[in-house]
Structure 1
């Protein structure tokens, strides 16, 4: 059996149900940079599960109703070491819950052949509900680098979001804690690439790397605290394109345009996140 685009396009991803607790909500915030300053009173509603006005980070939907690595199912014949997570978008449809019964339904949206030697794009969508009410839509795109060339003509590639060519309106420096990846694993992604130095070395990395979704969470935290004045309900959409991994302990800079665009770069100048977008329309 070999890669079959139609099989992937019609694949039924299992529905995931979970019980979200207030401790889960506080843990997610702690693992994405909230509460690093013990004197930051504004962080308490995010990190204290007993707080009467507990708030969820707008990026927490990333770890809710998560179906795991469904695309690695043997019947799909996907070359996992050559798969890249390219793009992630969260649309907040209602207040992100801090507790309740969560259901996540994931659907493959398309399988796009970019042509021989150029890979295949697989956008897929996850709809999240809490106690029956939808609160988030997540769209993720992965690139299967080993595939491509099965279609008579290459498929239409969705246009990329672009950040402005002008200088950013503000730049904020922050650092990932040395144990950032170990902490983020507690949200459920236990890939040893982010914890085991030997596994990281086999993957071509000098040391364990940060989860892309963890970097997403840290970037979201910067926007919530610096742009939204700690009000997560102001953020109705956030997305980004991953270009290179970040490392625990690394210093990063987020460049923000008031038009609703951002990037994240390392202190060495390399792009970690590109084509970032956010909306502040509120709920």
Structure 2
């Protein structure tokens, strides 16, 4: 039987320990495009560990499995899941390696009706083993097969509105044909991103790039264009996923800068589609 609102809103996991090494962070940075030019001195600190490895803030999305383990006992139609949004609040920069504690809860459930599905938000608060807060992440999942669960029919949050003027900057990122095969080593082994026959059965002509890989590419674009490659500048990084992208396509990130608020969207010009929309990044002051 599909889950009810009361059942899923009660799901919670407190102080779950997990860890990672600098090898995992090197892999993550490479998998979202850092170091494409191995002689770029600005990107070298993200792909070489000396004197100190720098980590993209978006790497938080692959740490600790995103807290999704709290859904393992819930009756979900896993074949009808879509990744709707990703939100990230940074409390300090991500270290090259760390021992962490994560608390995950369901912060919101929106029931769009039996024919439309439910929107479930997982919120994960992560701190260093020594106690200092590291980041808070929200993973918004559109469960198309689980509508009619009860609860509110509207979200308390509204999408960020992009400026109406032309972008102030456009960052161009070429993706590799094998980028999904590299990115999946961060933990998401869904065959949709690797096996052509599986992708075809799912309605795609070929494997698609992970949404969270696109998220990392967008973060790299903002970091390079606005933050002078300083991860400490990024205080928050929120996006809405709107369309899939295929490995090998070129991603154009349109960027608007209004003080400490950076708005952005990502698109593929060749197919005239927007893959990430309503992007918002809040900045910390420059050191």
- Structure-2-length-normalised TM-score: 0.91
Contact 1:16 1:66 in 2 (8 A): no
Relative to structure 1, is the Cα distance of residues 209 and 153 closer, same or farther in structure 2, using a 3 angstrom cutoff?
A: closer
What is the SS of the residue equivalent to 1:184? helix
Q: CA offset at residue 2 of structure 1?
A: 2.9
Distance 1:71 1:192, change over 3 A: farther
Query: How many residues get paired?
Result: 281
Of the three residues 102, 106, 111, the one matched with 2:100 is 102
Deviations 1:92-111 (A, max 9, x none): 01121111212222111122
Deviates most, 127-136 or 199-208 = 127-136
Q: Give CA-to-partner distance per residue, 1:110-167, whole Å, 9 cap, x none.
A: 2222235332111120111222321110011111222334548734553222211221
Most deviating of 269-278 and 61-70: 61-70
Kindly provide the CA deviation profile for residues 178-232 of structure 1, in whole angstroms up to 9, marking residues without a partner as x.
1111111111111111111111111111111111111101110111112111111
Indicate the residue corresponding to 2:87 in structure 1.
89
Matched, 1:175 2:174: yes
- Kindly indicate whether residue 277 of structure 2 is the aligned counterpart of residue 281 of structure 1: no
> Which runs of 5 or more structure 1 residues have no equivalent in the other structure?
none
Q: Distance in 2 between matches of 1:41 and 1:90?
A: 27
Task: Provide the secondary structure at the position in 1 that maps to 2:65.
Answer: coil
RMSD: 2.0
Which has the larger displacement, 192-201 or 123-132? Answer: 123-132
Q: Give the equivalent residue in structure 2 for 1:76.
A: 74
> In structure 2, do the counterparts of structure 1 residues 12 and 52 end up closer, same or farther at CA, with 3 Å as the change threshold?
same
Q: Secondary structure at the match of 1:38?
A: coil
Residue 240 to residue 164, structure 1, CA distance change in 2 (3 Å)? same
Given that 1:115 and 1:153 are in contact with CA atoms closer than 8 Å, whether structure 2 keeps it comes out as no
Whose strand fraction is larger, Structure 1's or Structure 2's? 2
Q: Contact 2:26/2:48 (CA < 8 Å) preserved in 1?
A: yes
Indicate whether 1:33 and 2:36 are aligned. no
Which residue in 2 is equivalent to 1:253? Answer: 252
Matches within 5 A, 1:4-153: 4-13=4-13, 16-49=16-49, 51-67=50-66, 69-70=68-69, 73=72, 75-131=73-129, 132-151=131-150
CA 1:67–1:251: 2 relative to 1, 3 Å: closer
Q: Secondary structure at the match of 2:86?
A: strand
Seen in structure 2, the aligned counterparts of structure 1 residues 80 and 72 have a Cα distance that, compared at 3 Å, is farther
Q: Does 1:270 align with 2:273?
A: yes
Partner SS, residue 43 of structure 2? helix
Q: Secondary structure at the match of 1:78?
A: coil
* More deviation, 156-165/209-218: 156-165
Decide whether aligned partners of structure 1 residues 204 and 231 sit closer, same or farther in structure 2, where only a CA change above 3 A counts: same
Find the residue that maps to 1:76 and give its secondary structure.
coil
Q: TM-score, normalised by structure 1?
A: 0.92
What's the secondary structure of 1:230's corresponding residue?
coil
